Each structure stands twice: as structure tokens, then as C-alpha cells.
Chain A
Amino acid sequence: MKINYRQLSILVFMSFIALKFLALPGLMYVDSANMSWLVTLVLMIVDGIYVFLILDLMKKCGQKNIFEFLCYCLGPVLARAFMAVLVVKYALVVANISKGLEFFVVENFYNDLKWLVFVLPLILLTNFMVYKGIRNIARVNEIIVWPVLFGCIYIALKSISGVDLFNFLPFFKDGVAPLFSSGFNHLSWFGSSGFMFMLFGKVDFSNGKKYTMLKYIFLAIALTMLMHVVFYGLFDVTSPTHSFCLSDISQFSSGHSSIDELSWLVVSLWVTAQAVQLALFSFCMMQAIKYTFNIKNDVFPILFVLIYIFTWSFIGENTVRLEVVFLSAFSSIITILVQYILPIIIYIGYAVNNVKRKKGAKCKS
């Protein structure tokens, strides 16, 4: 069940924008004020660079899955340790998406929605999609990508006339230090391309066009920047009070009436896109659990992921504020480890191993 290069690129595109259009811009404004867009831009570019790094590793690993490849590069102990870290990373992203989606749906569509009524259908869908595998998730993404892209552009362009570019001035008023702290605090919202680890050995590169990935990464960055610029341009100092970038922008895109019908359609589309993203990261979490605990079948890892989503919905309903978890240094450190350090370590491990093998071959000859 392999996916093609284009499908992988679309998965990257969707995962790049998945966490960016809800609470993130509002939360970032608290730390980095009107320069938040720059933090987003830089982190997304870094993510983009890492995508190519992971892509290169993917090509190097051939038909091996990530665990086999890590075993080859780093040995089984380290491989299993990294798998465990990946489980944590994916778990954080799954929780972030599911809670974000819950708030988004409840606030935008309902007066009152029981958490159980929200979480059960979501679990149902996630179970089905994870069970069907990555190819299924990739295909659904392929269908919804263009409506989501054009919908977001529509919402942004409709509101762009209200943007006050003065809101972006002055540049670096408080220096660059707040930007670094903002970047660190919100790292868990980035590094979404970490899902690619679980696709090692599952991508068919044979018919891929050269610039497809670059094109989609560029699109993702451009779209995110467009949305964020419109958001900060519209709301300025009130940005932290806006929890849902996408729907809040569209609220102000139609003069003084409520959100227009087409924008509702886009907001609805976003819900579907988020649900598919949840399935993607649940799939990754399931795979990581399988490798970590050496489980052969899919049933128990899937069950674990579903219980995890269910528990989050229940806990989040009663006590924990999501931001507390996601803005914690812990989640940022996990992201740094998985997203930015792991690929480099694998690279080094791979290179060292190759040199060793070559030497071994020479000695034998």
C-alpha cells in the first residue's frame, strides 16, 4: 500500500497548514506581537528545509520502514528509544488537533455540544481511516486539498481590504529576543512534517515530478502567511482574543452581516481537513506504537490511539487547558528532538554505518 510522491507532497502541504489557522496566530501575538508573522515564516521555512532532509533519508532507506532504517543506522536500542519519543510527539499533535477541532466545532457551529457526541463520531472516522491505511488518508487529502486551498484564499482575499498595514509597524520594536522565545514556546505547533518518518518505505518516488514537493511547501507557506497577515492586519492588539483565525477572519469579511454562506462552506471544509489530519497523525502514532513495543497487528495500537483521543476529550472537557500542555517547554523540547535533531542523527548514523561497511568490505577483499 504505497503512496506516490504527489500524494506525499499534498500530505506535507496539509500538515503544514493544519495547526496554523486556529489558535496559533492569536497565541503567538502574546509573545511576539506584530512580528509574529516573521516567527511563523522562519519556522515554516526551517520545516520546509527539513522536509527535504527527511525526503533524502526516505530515498536512502529504500524499502525499509523507519524502525528497520533506524536499527540499521543507530542500532536497535536507540531506534526503539527514538520510536518512543516519536510516539510522544505524535500523541501531542493528535491531542492538539483533536482539541483544536473540538473547540472550533463547538464554538462555531453549536450552542452546546456534549463532548461525547463530538468525540465518538471522530473516533469512528479515525478508526476507519487508520485501519484503511495511509493510502486511504492520502487519497482523501488529494480530494479536499484544492477546495481547502481555494477556500482559505477566498476568505483571506475577501477580508484583505480591512487590513491595516500599520499594524505591522514598527519592526523589531522590542528586539529579536521575544521572537526567539515565541518561536520556542510555540514549536509544538510546527514541525508537522514529522509524520514523514512513518512513511519510510511507503512512498513510490518513481513517477514524481522534480519540483512537486517544493511547489506544495511554497504554497503552504504562502497560504499561511496570507492568512496570518490578514489576521494580524485585521485584529492587531485584539489578536490574542481570537481563538480561531479562519472563522474569525471570515466574520469580518462580509461587512456587518454575519459570516457569509460561502465562508461557512470553507469553515466546514476546514473541519473535514482537520479530521483527516487527525487520522494521519493517529496513523503515525499507531505505527510508532507498533514499532516501539514490537506489536505485529494493528488492532491494539489503533485501540490505544482511540482511547487516547477519547481520554483527551474527556480530560480537556473538565480540567486541563490545552495551551498549558502545548505551550509547555516539554512539548517544545520533544519537537526539537523529533523534528530537528533526529534527522541529523539519522544522517550521521547512516554515514558512519556506510563508512564502516565499506571498510569491512575492503578488509574482506
Chain B
Amino acid sequence: MQKLKSFFSPRKIVVVILLLVLGITVPKLNAPAMSDTEAIVTMLCMDKQEDKIVMSATVLSPGPDNIANYQVFTGAGNTLGDAVEATSLAIGKEMGFAQCEVMAFGENLCDEGIMDTLDFMTRTKKVGRNAFLICFGGDINDFSEALSNLNKEKSLKLELIMNFDKRYILSKEGNIESFYIGYFNDTSLGIMPKVSIKNSEEDNAIEVAASGQTSGSGSEQNSGTQEKKYFINDGSVSIFKKGKRVLDVSPEQVKKINYFVNNSQQGTIEVQDVTDSIYNHANVVMDIVRKKNKISVSFEGNTPVFKSNIELVVFVEQVLEKEPQKNMLKRNNDFLTPAVIEKVKQKVIEDMQACVDFCRQNKIDMLQAYKHFSKLTPNKFEEYMRTTTVDEFLSGVKFTFDVKVTNEY
């Protein structure tokens, strides 16, 4: 026993294990840097073309100085796994998705549904759940090319643009996690920013970022085109229901929906034909400095009531007036006259009502009414939902709006 005890002494155990560990891991001493053996994917675009999944990966590659250099590689396959494999073959390395900050989906894929793709990418390929999601229109190669060129300009990273967009677009975060949260909720709604690409010869209004030549990385996929490509981000969003794209919402509509969303803090309001002691048929443009929408829900009998009390703090930015009145100097004391406030109230209520109509018409609960009712009045709402469906429930809800407008100062 004593011999056995000394044979298994803790010191010996330590030495044996240490030797084992060293034996197993010694080959790693000569291992190259992981960034040499793995392609670092920073952006991933996917679409469906002719029944095949087309994948376009923007890969970080070494370059001179400290400027990021990107190459775009494309692969296609019948399944997502095949597409990943084909793209890996094109790159010549295994793809690493840990640094993937953007996942973009083409319209075709969005229409078919993206949940299985998202699941595959997050669970199997370990794409971070904080990666941005974008829906794009147009050709996948053009899009990924414009994106990679955009990233070359540090100040115009897509990530930064999307962060800026958070204030305008309706989605809470615009990343995979928030998409999942939307999907797994009862209404199964998901939101994605919508962007598109236009060529230089086409006239376009909003230019967010312009790229020069294509990346010229030497990869087969990005050779050929020499036109400048414009990345169009006008603030429109795509709405997904049960993981499938159901409709696109225009920027104007998004602005209206934003009245219900406290996260989006910025925007402008324009009221027309204001006439009082200091304005003469003027169009007044105001910046929304702060916004708070206190939403309360209740039941009047069996009718659910959604009350929205919105408080707007505005700052008058511009007054467009053909014939200014003489006492316009008084404006310096207070631009926000009762007439302007009244017009603003009218305008906001109109917009909110239009937004409600839009949601009812398209059977999408962008106002998060379902969430409010189910959280704040769960029992009555459950009773109410027995008489209707998730798609139709908005038509039975009564909406009331109250607007309070104050000047910033």
C-alpha cells in the first residue's frame, strides 16, 4: 500500500500530466498565426439565384501600412453548407466568421425566409449575434463590392452608418439578436434596414458612400466592372413576418411609425401654411430634439384601447415664407407660436393615424400594441384574443392620441 501510495504521489502526478500536456501541444509551438490559416470574413452577403444559394464573402487581407484591405470572394451551392464550402475553396482557406459584422441578404432569399440561414450561421459558423442584418436589392456581387469599398474608408464603415441609422429606422438594434427576439415573439415580426446599389451613370438622389475602382484584389469574382457603384441608404426598412419578407416600408412611412418608438429620437416635422401674428403663410420646418411617447393600454368593455401620449420637444430650424411680415423679428423670442403648435399636433395625429391604418392594412403590428396589451393587461387581452387572430387583432383596437409640443428653450 505504501509503495502504491508513493507511486501515485501528487508530485509524480503533476510531472506526468505536465509531460502529457507538453507532448500533445508541442506541435503548436510551430503553428502559424491563425489569421494566416483562416480567412477573416468581415461581411457576408447571401442571395438565391436560379435555385442556388450564392454567397459573397468580404475577407480581410494584409496590405500596406495600417489600411484595411478587403477582397471579395463568391461561391454558390445547392445548400448553405455547399455555398460556404465553395466560397472557402475560392478563398483557399477555411472561413472564420468571428469578425463578421454584417450579414446581408438578397431580396430573393428574404422572400423565401432567412431563419434557417441565420440559425446555420450563428449556431454552426459562430457568427456573433450582434452582427448587423441588411436586406439589399440588386446583384449580390455589386453589393458586396460596394460594401468592401465602403469599408476601406474608415470614416464610412457600414457599421457606423447603421449605428447612425438606429435613430431613424424602426428596429431596436438591427442585429441578429433583435431579429430573433422579434421572430420568437407572438407577432413574429422582424425588421431589417433596406439598402440598394446603383451604378454611377444612373442619376440618384441620396449618395451615402461612393467607391472608386473595384477592389482589384485579383480574385476572379470582382474583375470586370469598372463603373462606380453607389450604396443607397435612404432609411427604408424591410418587414419580415415569420422570417420571410412581407413588405418594404418607405422612409416617409418609417418616420410616421417612429412616433411610436421611443428609441428613435431624431427626425423633422414640416407644417405648411402657418398664418398668425408673426407668420404669413409660412412653411415651418422643425427638428425633433426629444421625443417621449407614453403608451398606456386599457379596456373599455371588451374593446382594447391604445392611448398614445406623445411629448415632442422641437426646435424650429427653417421658416419658408414668401412675404414675411414686419413683426417677424418677434420670432426671436418664440418661434413656436400657438398656431405652429396646433399645426404640429394636427400633423402628428394625422401621421400616427395613417401609421395605424397602414399597420391594420398590412396586418403588421409595428406599433408593438400586442406587446403592450399582453404585458400590461394580460388576462383581458387573452380573452380578447380568443375572438380574433394575431394578424387581425389591430382592427379591433381603439387608438387615441394626445400630442404635447414644447420648444427646446
> Is the Cβ of B163 less than 8 Å from the Cβ of A255?
yes
A364 within 8 A of partner (CB): no
B216 within 8 A of partner (CB): no
Partner among A128, A237, A248 whose Cβ is within 8 Å of the Cβ of B10: A128
Interface of chain B residues 138 through 195 with chain A (CB within 8 A)? 159, 162-163, 173, 175, 177, 180-181, 184-185
> Is the Cβ of B10 less than 8 Å from the Cβ of A131?
yes
**Once bound together, how far apart are the Cα atoms of A183 and B21, in whole Å?**
40
The digit string for B2-45, where 1 denotes a CB below 8 A from any CB of A, is: 00010011100110011011001100000000100010000000
Question: Which of A81-89, A114-122, A344-352 forms part of the interface with chain B?
Answer: A114-122
Count contacts on B: residues with CB < 8 A to the other chain: 39
**Once bound together, how far apart are the Cα atoms of A169 and B344, in whole Å?**
34
A236 within 8 A of partner (CB): yes
Q: Name the residue on A nearest B99 (C-beta).
A: A258
Q: Name the residue on B nearest A124 (C-beta).
A: B17
| List of A residues within 8 angstroms of B18 by Cβ | 124
Q: How far is the CB of B244 from chain A (nearest CB, A)?
A: 19
> Is the Cβ of A258 less than 8 Å from the Cβ of B128?
yes
| List of A residues within 8 angstroms of B5 by Cβ | 297, 299-300
**In the complex where A117-B21, A237-B181, A237-B185 touch, is A258 in contact with B175 (Cβ < 8 A)?**
no
| List of B residues within 8 angstroms of A117 by Cβ | 21, 24-25
> Is the Cβ of A238 less than 8 Å from the Cβ of B180?
yes
Question: Which of B49-57, B75-83, B370-378, B390-398 forms part of the interface with chain A?
Answer: B370-378
**Once bound together, how far apart are the Cα atoms of A116 and B23, in whole Å?**
11
Judged by DSSP, the binding face of A is: helix
Interface of chain A residues 119 through 140 with chain B (CB within 8 A)? 120-121, 123-124, 127-128, 131
The digit string for A227-253, where 1 denotes a CB below 8 A from any CB of B, is: 000000001111001000000100110
**Once bound together, how far apart are the Cα atoms of A221 and B320, in whole Å?**
60
> Is the Cβ of B177 less than 8 Å from the Cβ of A236?
no
Q: Which of B18, B101, B173, B375 has the most CB of A within 10 A?
A: B375
**In the complex where A116-B24, A256-B130, A258-B128 touch, is A123 in contact with B17 (Cβ < 8 A)?**
yes
**Once bound together, how far apart are the Cα atoms of A291 and B408, in whole Å?**
75
**Once bound together, how far apart are the Cα atoms of A299 and B4, in whole Å?**
10
The digit string for A129-164, where 1 denotes a CB below 8 A from any CB of B, is: 001000000000000000000000000000000100
**Once bound together, how far apart are the Cα atoms of A120 and B17, in whole Å?**
6
Q: Name the residue on A nearest B9 (C-beta).
A: A299
The digit string for B82-125, where 1 denotes a CB below 8 A from any CB of A, is: 00000000000000101101000000000000000000000000
> Is the Cβ of A166 less than 8 Å from the Cβ of B375?
yes
Q: How far is the CB of B303 from chain A (nearest CB, A)?
A: 20
| List of B residues within 8 angstroms of A238 by Cβ | 177, 180-181, 184
> Is the Cβ of A127 less than 8 Å from the Cβ of B375?
no
Judged by DSSP, the binding face of B is: helix
A206 within 8 A of partner (CB): no
| List of A residues within 8 angstroms of B132 by Cβ | 256
B129 within 8 A of partner (CB): yes
Q: How far is the CB of A329 from chain B (nearest CB, A)?
A: 28
Q: How far is the CB of A72 from chain B (nearest CB, A)?
A: 29
Interface of chain A residues 92 through 131 with chain B (CB within 8 A)? 107, 111, 114, 116-117, 120-121, 123-124, 127-128, 131
Q: How far is the CB of A335 from chain B (nearest CB, A)?
A: 30
> Is the Cβ of B98 less than 8 Å from the Cβ of A258?
yes
| List of A residues within 8 angstroms of B101 by Cβ | 256-257
**Once bound together, how far apart are the Cα atoms of A238 and B175, in whole Å?**
13
| List of A residues within 8 angstroms of B375 by Cβ | 166, 169-170
Partner among B130, B180, B374, B378 whose Cβ is within 8 Å of the Cβ of A258: B130
**Once bound together, how far apart are the Cα atoms of A123 and B16, in whole Å?**
11
**In the complex where A255-B163, A303-B8 touch, is A128 in contact with B175 (Cβ < 8 A)?**
no
> Is the Cβ of A114 less than 8 Å from the Cβ of B177?
no
The digit string for B324-350, where 1 denotes a CB below 8 A from any CB of A, is: 000000000000000000000000000
- Inter-chain pairs besides A127-B17, A170-B376, A258-B99, 16 sampled, C-beta below 8 Å: A107-B126, A117-B25, A120-B17, A120-B20, A128-B10, A169-B375, A170-B375, A237-B185, A238-B181, A248-B129, A256-B130, A256-B175, A257-B130, A258-B128, A297-B5, A300-B8
Which 3 A-B pairs rank lowest in CB-CB distance, beginning with the nearest? A169-B375, A237-B184, A170-B378
Could you show 17 A-B contacts with beta carbons less than 8 Å apart? A117-B24, A117-B25, A120-B21, A123-B17, A124-B21, A127-B13, A166-B375, A169-B375, A169-B376, A236-B181, A238-B181, A255-B163, A256-B163, A258-B98, A258-B128, A302-B13, A303-B8
